[in-house]
């Protein structure tokens, strides 16, 4: 009985986290399309519900009732597993995101490593889907995407080291609390820019959406997917984007801290600030999609390995030397 | 305790079964996927004994990077077509004695190490100066790795660097006649380099030399 009560308690907490995340994913898809449309002087989805807010839910319903077509020459088990893996990985990472000092599902010691590990596992959904489809375009898309994600993960890892040097802990709440006086976006501004661009590449967003470049690869790894399975890829992708935004907000924008510790700001609870920061980053993601043309693949690789990696490594040396010289290293 | 042992046995059974499936499955790509499952369950076991840093590093390095490259190679070489039959084909039977010798050696080493650790703990010079309960295991790892074992740590890093440079040198080739893009050339190109205004005499034309 004791176990059962713990179990139900946890399930209740998990649902209380996951349902808002899924709903906000749906809303964020709408926001993305709306921003994209406004930049191009279009209206975007504005018919279903007020301001078209229910458009994504209508789309999701449509996908649910569509037939799922599994190609006869595909590897069926892996073909079905791929969208499930994408969706699951996009959701389990939310377990460690702190919404305030106490509102976190799992306040683990190695929170940032967990986030990094889960985001690096994200490549499997894509590579499994591309390979199991047993078709040329998905396979090419999957190979491209795997190479791209592995490359940009390296620079994200080095950027995380930069932040960790200033914090001295892998716990996400400690990272947030270390920014009480100064958000890391100010001293580490170049790293924030590189993190943002690497996050675009990591989530296969434009201008780095080469895995699904429709002019060359139809739809990349999701070409053969239909119905609910396609919708899962699609929602998983957006959940991943939100996750990267949350990661950026926690690492650089002070997580759930309010911008100023003075009266009107302190009234607003922590989760609201975190959501606002995530939305701000997402708005940037959406704007970038609308205003930047797609990269060429060799340029993308060159940018990752020959520009971002050396730059972030140099910045690690700079940060470490600065902290060491001025005796600011967070040693406890 | 019951929940603990349920999780322990679940993860160990998954680890062992997937390790067997790595060698037993006929499709090479499936083998790699089972290897990934094996890595994941091993890292779960690491987390269960309280070594959460090792578990996460295992996930990041092995599953997030090494296994992706494995998959890459296996998919690109298209070895999925060659069915590797378990203990039956001509080629694999040649490797079996070597494999058996190596695995026996590893097994004996494991027995010696684990047995020694169990029955003669004083043989193992474990640094007890750390108070493991007070600091997280990331801190304690760092304190040992960057003080007592700094040279070993640096040497292993150097070996990896040499291996990396070696791999790049082996695959690097300069092909003649391939046009490559040079940003500096493109940016530093002036109008006068590409365009010239000529006075063309009528009925004579101009000779363009390039």
The stretches of A93-226 forming alpha helices (DSSP H) are 111-121, 123-132, 136-167, 172-177, 189-202, 214-217
Give the C-alpha separation, A75 to A105, whole Å.
Answer: 36
The answer for residues whose C-beta is within 8 angstroms of residue A264's C-beta and 6 or more apart is: none
pTM: 0.83
Give the pLDDT score at B4: 83
Give the pLDDT score at A315: 92
Mutate to test the interface with B, among A121, A146, A156, A324 (most CBs of B within 10 A): A121
Nearest-Cα residue of chain A relative to residue B74: A131
Residue B156 has pLDDT above 90, yes or no: yes
Residue B148 has pLDDT above 60, yes or no: yes
Confidence class of residue B74 from pLDDT cuts 50, 70 and 90? confident
Give the C-alpha separation, B129 to B144, whole Å.
Answer: 10
> How many residue pairs from chains A and B have C-beta atoms closer than 8 A?
61
Residue A122's region, left for phi above 0, alpha for psi from -120 to 50, else beta, is alpha
Q: Would an 8 Å CB–CB cutoff place A150 in contact with chain B?
A: yes
pLDDT digits (tens, 9 = 90+) for B176-206: 888 877 888 888 888 888 888 878 888 877 7
Give the pLDDT score at A174: 86
Candidate from B29, B63, B136 with C-beta closest to A109: B136
Gap from A141 CA to chain B (nearest CA, Å): 13
Give the C-alpha separation, A112 to A105, whole Å.
Answer: 14
Give the pLDDT score at B89: 59
What part of B 141-200 touches A (C-beta under 8 Å)?
181
Which residues does chain A have with pLDDT short of 50? none
Task: Indicate the fold that domain B1-85 takes in CATH.
Answer: 1.20.120
Sketch the domain layout of chain B as residue ranges.
1-85, 96-126, 127-172
Give the pLDDT score at B132: 55
CB contact under 8 A, B52 and A153: no
- On the CB side of A36, CA atoms within 13 Å amount to 16
Give the pLDDT score at B122: 66
Per-residue pLDDT averaged across B48-53, rounded?
Answer: 83
Q: Average pLDDT of chain B?
A: 81
Candidate from B59, B72, B138 with C-beta closest to A170: B138
Residue that has been written with the tokens 């990094």 in this structure: A116
Give the pLDDT score at A136: 84
CB contact under 8 A, B52 and A108: yes
Give the pLDDT score at B133: 60
Q: What ipTM did this prediction achieve? A: 0.81
Q: Would an 8 Å CB–CB cutoff place A307 in contact with chain B?
A: no
Give the pLDDT score at B1: 74
Residue B127 has pLDDT above 80, yes or no: no
Give the pLDDT score at A212: 74
Residue B116 has pLDDT above 60, yes or no: yes
Give the pLDDT score at B128: 54
Give the CA angle between residues A232, A122, A196 to the nearest 5°.
105
Gap from B44 CA to chain A (nearest CA, Å): 12
Q: Would an 8 Å CB–CB cutoff place B71 in contact with chain A?
A: yes
Give the pLDDT score at B163: 93
Per-residue pLDDT averaged across B88-103, rounded?
Answer: 76
Give the pLDDT score at A321: 92
Q: Chain B contacts of A113, Cβ < 8 Å?
A: 53, 56-57, 60
């Amino acid at each position: 009985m004791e176990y059962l009560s713990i179990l139900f308690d946890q399930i209740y907490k998990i649902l209380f986290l996951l349902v808002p995340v899924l709903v906000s994913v749906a809303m964020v898809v709408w926001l993305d399309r709306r921003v994209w449309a406004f930049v191009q002087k279009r209206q975007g989805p504005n018919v279903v519900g007020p301001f078209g807010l229910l458009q994504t839910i209508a789309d999701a319903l449509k996908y649910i009732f569509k037939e799922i077509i599994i190609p006869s020459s595909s590897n069926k088990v892996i073909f079905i597993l791929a969208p499930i893996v994408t969706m699951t990985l996009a959701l389990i990472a939310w377990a460690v995101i702190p919404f305030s000092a106490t509102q976190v599902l799992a306040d683990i010691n190695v929170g940032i490593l967990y986030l990094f590990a889960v985001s690096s596992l994200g490549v499997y959904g894509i590579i499994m889907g591309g390979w199991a489809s047993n078709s040329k375009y998905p396979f090419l898309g999957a190979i491209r995407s795997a190479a791209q994600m592995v490359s940009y993960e390296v620079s994200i890892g080095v950027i995380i080291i930069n932040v960790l040097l200033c914090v001295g802990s892998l716990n996400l709440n400690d990272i947030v609390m270390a920014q009480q006086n100064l958000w890391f976006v100010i001293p580490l501004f170049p790293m924030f820019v590189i993190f943002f661009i690497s996050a675009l590449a990591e989530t296969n967003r434009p201008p780095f959406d080469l895995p699904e470049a429709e002019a060359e690869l139809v739809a990349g790894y999701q070409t053969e997917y239909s119905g609910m399975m396609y919708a899962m890829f699609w929602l998983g992708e957006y959940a991943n984007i939100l996750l990267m935004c949350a990661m950026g907000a926690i690492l650089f924008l002070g997580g759930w801290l309010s911008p100023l510790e003075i009266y009107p700001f302190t009234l607003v609870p922590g989760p609201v600030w975190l959501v606002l920061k995530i939305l701000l980053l997402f708005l940037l993601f959406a704007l970038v999609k609308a205003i930047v043309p797609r990269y060429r693949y060799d340029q993308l690789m060159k940018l990752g390995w020959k520009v971002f990696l050396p730059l972030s490594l140099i910045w690690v040396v700079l940060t470490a030397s600065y902290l060491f010289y001025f005796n600011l290293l967070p040693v406890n | 305790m019951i929940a603990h042992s349920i999780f322990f046995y679940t993860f160990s059974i998954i680890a062992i079964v997937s390790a067997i499936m790595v060698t037993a499955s006929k499709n090479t790509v499936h083998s790699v996927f089972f290897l990934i499952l094996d890595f994941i369950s091993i890292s779960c076991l690491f987390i269960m004994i309280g070594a959460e840093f090792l578990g996460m590093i295992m996930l990041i390095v092995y599953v997030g990077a090494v296994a992706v490259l494995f998959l890459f190679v296996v998919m690109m070489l298209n070895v999925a077509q060659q069915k590797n039959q378990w203990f039956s084909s001509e080629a694999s039977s040649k490797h079996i004695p070597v494999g058996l010798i190596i695995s026996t050696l590893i097994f004996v080493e494991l027995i010696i190490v684990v047995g020694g650790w169990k029955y003669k703990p004083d043989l193992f010079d474990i640094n007890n100066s750390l108070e493991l309960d007070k600091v997280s295991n990331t801190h304690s790892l760092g304190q040992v790795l960057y003080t007592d074992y700094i040279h070993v740590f640096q040497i292993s890093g150097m070996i990896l660097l040499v291996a990396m440079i070696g791999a790049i040198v082996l695959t690097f080739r300069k092909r003649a006649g391939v046009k490559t893009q040079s940003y500096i050339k493109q940016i530093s190109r002036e109008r006068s380099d590409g365009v010239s205004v000529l006075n063309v005499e009528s009925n004579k034309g101009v000779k363009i030399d390039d």
